[in-house]
Amino acid sequence: MKKRLLNLFNVFGTFAIAIALFAFVVPQDQKAGAAWNVPANYKSMKSTKATPETEKVGKLLYAKHCKSCHGGVGEGDGPKAASMKTKMTSFKDAKFQAQSDGVVYYQSFVGRDEMPNFEKKILDEEDRWAIVHYMRTLK
Ligand code: HEC
């Protein structure tokens, strides 16, 4: 009798551990993105001048194209974020903001893997820089 009870405890114990592990493992399933390999011609790109106007335009374009994944203020928590295999960096992160304009441009419009390519969706060079200008206001 005692032995059976112990067995029962073991079964429940195993289940409890499995459930606890599952709860922790599933949300952490996303891997952090590796370092970006940005070509030299992008790295050296110079941004156009940011003005309150370009930042405003950038904010609208960001809301249209980027917010669904990157979230309202760029923290990587948009509605589509949870279905991504790769974790997004917060645009508020000092390390993200320390990257040059050309690097941010490459990441934003050339992209890689789950980060979509926007070269055919956002054609206007000024619109692209406007988005970068807006992203710079998020720090
Ligand atoms: C379908 C979801 C999705 C959309 C829409 C999207 N992104 Fe991303 N983005 C990602 C993911 C996922 C990553 C991480 C990719 C990696 O590290 O390989 C990423 C990475 C980035 C990065 C590099 C920093 C980081 O988080 O690793 C920048 C900059 C970026 N995106 C800008 C933009 C901009 C600007 C737009 C809109 C024009 C946009 N993204 C739209 C999913 C998205």
Q: What is the pLDDT of residues 57-93, one digit of tens each?
A: 999 999 999 999 999 999 999 999 999 999 999 999 9
- Looking from the CA of residue 85, the nearest atom of ligand 1 is 12
Is the shortest distance between the CB of 138 and ligand 1 below 6 Å?
A: no
How far apart CA 81 and CA 94 sit, in angstroms, is 21
Percent of the chain with pLDDT over 90: 78
Asked if residue 19 has pLDDT above 80, the reply is no
Is the shortest distance between the CB of 38 and ligand 1 below 6 Å?
A: no
Is the shortest distance between the CB of 68 and ligand 1 below 6 Å?
A: yes
Q: Are 75 and 139 in contact (CB under 8 A)?
A: no
The whole-number pLDDT of residue 22 equals: 57
CA of 7 to the centre of ligand 1 (A): 50
Nearest CA to 92 among 114, 69, 62, 71?
A: 71
Asked if residue 105 has pLDDT above 60, the reply is yes
How far apart CA 66 and CA 75 sit, in angstroms, is 11
The whole-number pLDDT of residue 23 equals: 58
Asked if residue 13 has pLDDT above 90, the reply is no
- For residue 101, what are the CA distances in angstroms to 27, 29, 67, 97? 32, 30, 20, 9
Q: What is the mean pLDDT of the chain?
A: 90
Higher pLDDT, 27 or 70: 70
Q: Are 44 and 102 in contact (CB under 8 A)?
A: yes
Q: Are 119 and 42 in contact (CB under 8 A)?
A: no
Q: Which two tokens stand for residue 113?
A: 């893997």
Pocket test for ligand 1, best of 47, 109, 115 (most atoms within 8 A of CB): 115
Nearest CA to 43 among 95, 107, 112, 125?
A: 107
